[in-house]
């Protein structure tokens, strides 16, 4: 991923302030809105069926997050996503907790079969379960699977005809032809609610201004991982998770092309 492309993405974000429509997790909705603002986008959190079509039609990207899924929210998601498909804007799908319950898994499969999703962002067990495989999942946390994240990302990219983002110790991003790993982050990212949800918002913000959504997925995922790494480095021995959470948002808001280029460790897989 060349430096000029990263510089262009950050510049376009600041110039265009894209509108990012979210139908997302009620637990982390405020964090997602703030992360979108911090990176340069404009968030809107409209989850009712009555306005889902109209709001998506006005937007530059759509985030769908299954964290607190219910029947009414699902119907609004489908309406919004169909409008997004019609407009040709990216749909970023975060299948939170898929594999944990039959209802959640069946709804996610129904969604992916109904909508052309552009980018799927999840942990390994969520993506694995979305493909119809059985993972050992506990709640919304990652579980055990019987393949590597690289192999899973490759297979899922082909299976769904979508860009796949798998978060983990090494983040993996794949499309049908290419795959990269990001070697950044901090273990404290796993101890703060909403970092995955915020990552979907970051990816959507970049995708809204990108010519190629694959590079937008890399830019958004790496922004979260690097911001977490920098926040962890600045955490003193006397500070805890509350301070890390604040520092994480600070680092997202300060992220620019120069910091990204200098700090991101990106490897072809």
Whether 136 has a pLDDT exceeding 60, the answer reads no
Alpha carbons 44 and 52: distance in angstroms, whole number: 11
Task: Tell me the pLDDT band of 39, cut-offs 50, 70 and 90.
Answer: very high
Question: 144-153, 177-186, 229-238: which range is least confident on average?
Answer: 144-153
* DSSP SS3 for 255: coil
H helices of 40-148, where?
49-58, 71-87, 102-114, 124-130
Maximum separation of any 2 CA atoms in the chain, in Å: 51
Average pLDDT (25-32) is 95
Question: 140-149, 165-174, 184-193, 239-248: which range is least confident on average?
Answer: 140-149
Angle at alpha carbon of residue 214, lines to 68 and 156, rounded to 5°:
60
pTM for this structure?
0.95
Question: 89-103, 142-156, 190-204: which range is least confident on average?
Answer: 142-156
Mean pLDDT over all residues of the chain? 94
Average pLDDT (147-168) is 95
Question: 38-42, 105-109, 145-149, 192-196: which range is least confident on average?
Answer: 145-149
Burial 160-198 (b: 16+ CB within 10 A, else e): bebbbbbbeebbbbbbeeebbbbebbbebbbebebbbbb
> How many CB atoms lie under 10 A from the CB of residue 72?
11
Whether 81 has a pLDDT exceeding 80, the answer reads yes
Question: Who contacts 240 (Cβ-Cβ below 8 Å, separation ≥6)?
Answer: none
pLDDT for res 145:
73
* Both tokens assigned to 75: 């119907």
Counting residues of the chain whose pLDDT is more than 90, the rounded percentage is 90
Average pLDDT (59-68) is 97
> At what angle are helices 213-233 and 241-254 packed, to 10 degrees?
130
- Pick the residue with more confidence: 137 or 265? 265
Q: What is the pLDDT of residues 183-216, one digit of tens each?
A: 999 999 999 999 999 999 999 999 999 999 999 9
pLDDT for res 137:
54
Q: Does residue 21 contact residue 236 with C-beta atoms inside 8 Å?
A: no
pLDDT for res 265:
96
Alpha carbons 160 and 171: distance in angstroms, whole number: 19
Whether 37 has a pLDDT exceeding 90, the answer reads yes
């Amino acid at each position: 991923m060349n430096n000029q492309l990263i510089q262009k993405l950050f510049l376009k974000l600041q110039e265009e302030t894209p509108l990012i429509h979210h139908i997302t997790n009620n637990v982390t909705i405020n964090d997602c809105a703030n992360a979108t603002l911090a990176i340069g986008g404009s968030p809107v959190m409209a989850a009712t069926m009555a306005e889902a079509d109209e709001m998506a039609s006005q937007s530059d990207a759509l985030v769908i997050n299954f964290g607190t899924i219910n029947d009414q929210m699902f119907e609004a998601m489908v309406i919004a996503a169909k409008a997004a498909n019609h407009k040709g804007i990216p749909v970023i799908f975060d299948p939170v907790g898929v594999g944990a319950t039959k209802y959640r898994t069946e709804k996610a499969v129904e969604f992916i079969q109904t909508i052309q999703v552009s980018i799927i962002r999840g942990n390994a067990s969520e993506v694995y379960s979305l493909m119809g495989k059985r993972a050992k999942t506990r709640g919304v946390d990652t579980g055990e699977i019987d393949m590597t994240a690289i192999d899973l990302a490759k297979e899922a990219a082909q299976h769904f005809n979508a860009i796949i983002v798998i978060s983990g110790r090494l983040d993996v991003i794949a499309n049908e032809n290419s795959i990269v790993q990001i070697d950044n982050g901090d273990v404290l990212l796993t101890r703060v609610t909403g970092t995955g949800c915020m990552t979907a918002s970051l990816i959507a913000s970049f995708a809204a201004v990108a010519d190629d959504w694959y590079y937008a997925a890399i830019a958004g995922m790496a922004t979260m991982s690097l911001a977490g790494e920098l926040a962890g480095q600045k955490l003193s021995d006397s500070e805890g998770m509350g301070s890390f959470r604040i520092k994480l948002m600070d680092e997202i808001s300060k992220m620019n092309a120069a910091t990204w280029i200098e700090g991101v460790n990106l490897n072809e897989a």
